[in-house]
Structure 1
Amino acid sequence: MQILQIVPSISLIYGGPSQMVLGLAPALAKAGVKVTVITTDSNGDTGQTPLDVPLNQPVDQDGYEIIYFRCAPFRRYKFSLDLLKWLNHHAQDFDLAHIHALFSPVSSAAATICRQKNLPYILRPLGTLDPADLRKKQQLKKLYVAMIERANLAGAAAVHFTSTQEAKISERFGVKTKDLVIPLGVNPPILSNEDVLSRWGIAKDKPVILFMSRIDPKKGLELLIPALEELLTAGYDFHFVLAGTNPQDPGYEEKIKTQIANSSLRSHTSITGFVTGVAKASLLQAADIFVLPSYYENFGIAVAEAMVAGTPVVISDQVHIYQQVEDSASGWVGTTDTQSLVELLKQALSNPAERQRRGENARNYALENFSWQAIALQMIQAYKSITKL
């Protein structure tokens, strides 16, 4: 079975949804599937340096091959004419395409080419069919749906959702679809002896509350910051770590940093910027509580990464793996309001033994249910049901 993975970018700067392909591809390859990933060299908006990668040629990587194409024209939209030309010429070499992202020009055009070439394809919307996300640029998206995306959904062999809740609430624009619910995977944490707390001046005798995600309005930081301020006023002692960035909206990121600098939190906060690799793994393991009070999150890969690191999570019920967190007692789940967040964090901060218990539950659940090996086997069954191979 030869599977083509199509994703606008796999740069770390775009976060977990894009990076998912780099977890899935080697797991599929290890299970005997021939995998080719096509993507662009996009590494941020206009002005950012593209990825330093070979272009227009297969690169062998972890048992699969990846081909990068120059992002041009329209770098801002991760578009590549070269990628589409290659797909038009090579579509017949594959049994199925797995396309990651909707409302992305290169993904939308790729789906159209797949239909023209009779190559069955699966669409993974990455949360873009969530009603809350559709309200952004609403009129433009209505036009985009009418002209392009409704036909892409109608022509898809299946739509890949990463949680039951995502599938339940997602808009289909009147199109009947075959839905696959298969979660994202995570890798076991990198073990490190790095003293990551000292690196950012974090005291070791205080509980660490970690936010590690894109600094974006949907992540609920305007709920979290006043909640943390209220906890300080109530006498709770902790250290807050804000890890992340937002190259596509630096103004919002700066607003959040300024808000913290002008609040009682400033002497209790470390702002690390974007972290990855050993530093990221070390922070996840050093944290006592991981917090993500998002307004909507189609899966919440950052939550799964915290869980596999053994860190209990405090999340909103709009993070769509909240049911798994509740059922496995891997953390605390509340609503998207400040007072709910305050109460959950009080519970977590007041009971170190319970934090440890829930952290162990989190690790065990994530290793069993979010391992890439398990996800790959589910995906292969889905591929076989579509291709009849």
Structure 2
Amino acid sequence: MKILVISPYLGASYGGISKIVIDLAQSLGKLGIHVDIVTTNANGKTKLQVPLKMWVNEQGYRVQYFPCWHHDDLILSTSLIRWLYTNVREYDLVHTHTIFAPLIGIVQRICLARRVPYLAMPHGMLEPWALTYKAWKKRIYYALLEKKSLQSADAICTSTTNENKQLKLLKIQTPAFTIPNGIYHQEFAILPNPENFYQQFPKTRNKTIILFLGRIDPKKGLDLLAPAFSKIYRQFPQIHLVVAGPDNIGFLPTIKKHFTQANCLEAVTFTGMLTGKLKYECLAAADIYISPSYSEGFSMSILEGMAAGLPCIITTGCNFPEAAFAQAAHVVDINSEAIANALNQCLSNPKAAKAMGNRARDFIFQNYTWECAAENLLKVYQSILPFAQSSMSLMK
């Protein structure tokens, strides 16, 4: 089985989707599947410094980067499109990542023209809040292009059950499968000593650290966190908030203004994006993880916070009700008061918070690994390929 995976980007500045694409490909490769990734060299405001238009061998898969024009998330690459039209029929199935992306829309139309089945993965972009953000543009794009692409797909893979329900509300009849994201157990088995993190960010030393790990973006709910954190900061002056993530759209000044107005900016450290060992050192230093999001697909950083054994506070917008059922996280309404109450609960009863963190770690290790995700995704590939190949034969 030869699978072609296509994403507009693999740059780390785009957050969780880039990591999901890579980790899924690597895990599928371990199952003996031939996986090629085709993408561009876009990376936020910059470009990746990578070889272009040639295969690069990685662990379990190959990747080929193409030059592109891009502005934020709008990415186009004529060389990638030309390559795809010539080579797509070498593959049994094309797996596309993200939607509302012109490049992916063109890829899907090439698949239809060349009679190659494709699977679409929206990554939470059909969630109600996501659809209302920049709503008029999305309504037009969806009506003219995206709906047809989703309906023409051989399957849609969602990351949450809520996303599957949203497909039904949108009257998309394409077969849909839920494949949650995962983590690698070995990356969280033993976290590193956080001393290097304290040295780089000295204001965090000897503090009770509340960690937000994600992009600086309107949907992430940092405007809700500011007044909630301020309220709790007055009760627990030893706490310190770490906001760790990239600012791709210039939203950081707005967020700092929220914390300034809440009179707590002095207790907040903005680290920028953390990668590699430093990210794990940050998780080791943290005492509580928080995700106050309005909307998520299936957040990689939530999985990482839980796998690190942290008591986690997440909103219903994070689409992870399973964590509440397992008593592995505080899942709260999307408002500042609910967030503050959960913070107060964790800080007032550290023993119970630690027990929740331990349950969270076990819960993730048992249910949300990349090995499990890859095995389930392989079953999806196997289930749709015979049907897709039969349909293509009838079209000939």
Give the shorter-chain TM-score range: over 0.9
2:223–2:258 Cα contact (<8 Å) kept: no
Distance in 1 of aligned mates of 2:199 and 2:60: 38
Name the SS for the 1:13 alignment partner.
helix
Aligned to 1:234: 235
Aligned to 1:128: 125
Residue type of the alignment partner of 2:178: V
2:275 is aligned with 1:288: no
Distance in 2 of aligned mates of 1:74 and 1:49: 10
Distance in 2 of aligned mates of 1:81 and 1:297: 31
Distance in 2 of aligned mates of 1:210 and 1:88: 45
- Following superposition, the deviation at residue 66 of structure 1 comes to 0.3
Aligned to 2:365: 367
Aligned to 1:18: 18
1:330–1:361 Cα contact (<8 Å) kept: yes
2:49 is aligned with 1:41: no
Residue type of the alignment partner of 1:277: G
2:192–2:284 Cα contact (<8 Å) kept: no
Residue-by-residue CA offset, 1:20-45 (whole Å, 9 max, x unaligned): 1110111000101000000000011x
| Structure 1 unaligned regions, length at least 5 | none
Residue-by-residue CA offset, 1:55-77 (whole Å, 9 max, x unaligned): 11111000210010001376861
Aligned to 1:311: 310
Distance in 2 of aligned mates of 1:90 and 1:203: 52
Name the SS for the 1:318 alignment partner.
helix
Residue-by-residue CA offset, 1:224-245 (whole Å, 9 max, x unaligned): 1101111122345311111112
Q: Structure 2 matches for 1:39-118, cutoff 5 A?
A: 39-44=39-44, 48-72=45-69, 77-118=74-115
Residue type of the alignment partner of 1:16: G
Aligned to 1:264: 263
Instruction: Call closer, same or farther: CA 1:236–1:168 in 2, change over 3 Å.
Output: farther
Instruction: Call closer, same or farther: CA 1:38–1:198 in 2, change over 3 Å.
Output: same
Aligned to 1:140: 137
- Following superposition, the deviation at residue 267 of structure 1 comes to 3.0
Instruction: Call closer, same or farther: CA 1:24–1:279 in 2, change over 3 Å.
Output: same
Aligned residue among 337, 340, 361 for 2:338: 340
- Following superposition, the deviation at residue 264 of structure 1 comes to 3.3
Residue-by-residue CA offset, 1:103-161 (whole Å, 9 max, x unaligned): 10111110111111111111111222122222233232222223221221111011111
Distance in 1 of aligned mates of 2:335 and 2:280: 29
Name the SS for the 2:69 alignment partner.
coil
Distance in 2 of aligned mates of 1:9 and 1:107: 11
- Following superposition, the deviation at residue 101 of structure 1 comes to 0.9
Is 184-193 or 338-347 further displaced after alignment?
184-193
Aligned to 2:325: 327
Residue type of the alignment partner of 2:263: S
Distance in 1 of aligned mates of 2:296 and 2:260: 27
Distance in 2 of aligned mates of 1:58 and 1:174: 39
- Of all paired residues, the percent bearing the same amino acid is 33
Instruction: Call closer, same or farther: CA 1:265–1:74 in 2, change over 3 Å.
Output: closer
Aligned to 1:379: 377
Name the SS for the 2:107 alignment partner.
helix
Aligned to 2:394: none
- Following superposition, the deviation at residue 332 of structure 1 comes to 0.8
Instruction: Call closer, same or farther: CA 1:57–1:197 in 2, change over 3 Å.
Output: same
Aligned to 1:247: 248
Residue-by-residue CA offset, 1:184-216 (whole Å, 9 max, x unaligned): 122343632341234211454432111111111
Distance in 1 of aligned mates of 2:225 and 2:71: 36
Distance in 2 of aligned mates of 1:377 and 1:332: 29
2:4–2:38 Cα contact (<8 Å) kept: yes
Residue type of the alignment partner of 1:3: I
The Cα RMSD (Å) is 1.9
Distance in 1 of aligned mates of 2:181 and 2:227: 31
Residue type of the alignment partner of 2:330: W
| Structure 2 unaligned regions, length at least 5 | 390-396
2:147 is aligned with 1:159: no
Instruction: Call closer, same or farther: CA 1:253–1:4 in 2, change over 3 Å.
Output: same
Residue type of the alignment partner of 2:84: L
Distance in 1 of aligned mates of 2:82 and 2:200: 47
The number of aligned residues is 383
- Following superposition, the deviation at residue 381 of structure 1 comes to 0.5
Residue type of the alignment partner of 2:226: I
Distance in 2 of aligned mates of 1:172 and 1:32: 37
Instruction: Call closer, same or farther: CA 1:337–1:73 in 2, change over 3 Å.
Output: closer
